[in-house]
Amino acid sequence: MGYKSKIFKHGHNFYLLLAILIQMTIYPFFESEEIRLIFSNLFSTVILIAGIYAIGLKKNQKIIAISIGIFAFFGIWYSIIIDVRLFLAIISVICQIAFYIYVIVLILKNLIKAKEVDANIIYGAIVVYLLIGISFSLLYSLMEGLAPGSFYINTFESLALKLNVFDFMYYSFTTLTTTGFGDITAVSLYARSASNIEEVIGVMYVAIIISRFVSIYIVQLSNKRSK
């Protein structure tokens, strides 16, 4: 048996991946915006918990993740209980982004160190890709909150529509995957710049991860033949 990173030893990333996929797909199944928000926040909370579970056993890493996650957790649910001020909403979004970035970095670190490609390694790679998209969707919603009109939705009812977090998630993943349907457009310079960065990251990540997995597989195959 070759080296296996502790982060993947028990398949921790599967639960994080499952929570992310559920959050991304539940929106159309509820007509009420309030119910949509509650379920979205519920699975955002599950993602926080699964993210802490996924980062492994190192105490210092868990302490940092839990500390950031607590602020993100209260920010997620505080907005439902009372009408929060813009400052608190900004802090909440920043904490969520910081948490996702921290998890991304730790999982990437273990992807780079991995000596074998198995199901758990693949789960981790997918999780990183999805968390990149979610992080940018939060960044876009933050931009729109601070500077309304940063994004434009190209429909006949565009003047009456207000973009929500799922609209930004949709835009983020069409940008990350370079699909770019064009129904939502980045207008401000900051929004365009962030979109360009996400698009480049999406292309480079897929290319680098595939090449990394291929190289690991070649080494694995070579080791098996030499035995």
- Flag whether pLDDT at 13 surpasses 80: yes
The pLDDT, as a whole number, for residue 5 is 46
Kindly state the tokens that stand for 29: 């199944």
151-153 and 184-186 as β-strands: parallel, antiparallel, unpaired?
A: antiparallel
Mean pLDDT of 140-148: 90
**Taking all residues of the chain, what is their mean pLDDT, rounded to a whole number?**
83
The candidate with the shortest Cα–Cα distance to 95, out of 115, 79, 81, is 79
The three-point CA angle 66-71-73 to 5° equals 85
State pTM to two decimals.
0.86
Amino acid at 117: V
User: CA-to-CA distance for 208 and 88, rounded, in angstroms?
Assistant: 37
Q: What residues contact 31, with CB distance under 8 A and at least 6 apart?
A: none
Q: Specify whether the CB–CB gap between 127 and 172 falls below 8 A.
A: no
Which residue bears the tokens 């940018």? 136
Q: What is the pLDDT of residues 29-79, one digit of tens each?
A: 877 777 877 888 888 889 998 888 887 767 788 888 888 888 888 777 776
- Which CATH number is 6-226 given? 1.10.287.70
Provide the 3-class DSSP secondary structure of residue 179. coil
User: CA-to-CA distance for 42 and 128, rounded, in angstroms?
Assistant: 20
Domain extent listing, the chain = 6-226
